[in-house]
Amino acid sequence: MRSFAAALAVVLVAACGASDQERARREIQPFKCHDRSVSYTAAKHLAGQELGVLLDCAEAGPRLQRWKMDKSGTRVEDARNMTPREFDDIWRQIDGAGWPNMRDCTGSGKKQDPVYTFDVKDDQNKATFQCQAATMPFPWNTIVDPLDAAAQRSGKQLGDDEPAELKALDKKKPPR
């Protein structure tokens, strides 16, 4: 009975290994960068003095970078590699917005709203445009939303969201 259980365990481990190998083989695909990159930078955003996300493939293969700068000028950033499939899926969403034809948006017109600057390019087109709004209107949101969703897939928070003045309040002793 023990030999049967051991043999079954070996077969199951081999089957799991084979399925992982099969999945890896299926996911291997040729990748052509075509000098694609897309980024947005939001100045005077609620989350910081500046924040941004960059999707590119020319420098280090398919990757996503994100950054945030607080009011004191401290910059926090991170980057992660992506699979070609993930990169292409995000690019398809952004490319579907028709970015080569996009221009500056009228936005909200409110001075307190962040100013988003977009840079998008591939091997055939290049575009730079801006939009000032608390939330991006259509079709500019079709660039911001996929980049933000991809940036959050790391599961890590970028920097510390609690301002220093609030941390100082935590350290004060309550009045008696």
CATH of the domain at 89: 3.30.1560
Predicted confidence at residue 14, as pLDDT, reads: 46
Asked whether residue 97 is domain-assigned, the answer is yes
How far, CA to CA in Å, does 74 sit from each of 49, 58, 71?
10, 27, 7
Domain count of the fold of the chain: 1
**Per-chain mean pLDDT for the chain:** 81
Asked whether residue 12 is domain-assigned, the answer is no
Domain holding 127, by residue range, is 37-159
- The residue among 59 and 54 whose pLDDT is bigger is 54
Rounded Cα–Cα distance for residues 169 and 9 (Å) = 57
Predicted confidence at residue 23, as pLDDT, reads: 53
State which amino acid sits at residue 8: L
Asked whether residue 4 is domain-assigned, the answer is no
Asked whether residue 82 is domain-assigned, the answer is yes
CB 37 within 8 A of CB 121: yes
Q: What distance lies between CA 168 and its chain's CA centroid?
A: 31
Rounded Cα–Cα distance for residues 61 and 119 (Å) = 18
Predicted confidence at residue 13, as pLDDT, reads: 42
pLDDT band (50, 70, 90) for residue 4: very low
Asked whether residue 84 is domain-assigned, the answer is yes
Predicted confidence at residue 174, as pLDDT, reads: 62
Percent share of the chain, pLDDT over 90: 45
Asked whether residue 164 is domain-assigned, the answer is no
For 145-161, write each residue's pLDDT tens digit.
999 999 988 666 665 55
Rounded Cα–Cα distance for residues 91 and 36 (Å) = 8
With 80 as the cut, is the pLDDT of residue 57 above it? Answer: yes
Strand partners, 126: 121
- 76-84 average pLDDT score: 91
pLDDT band (50, 70, 90) for residue 19: low
Asked whether residue 96 is domain-assigned, the answer is yes
Asked whether residue 73 is domain-assigned, the answer is yes
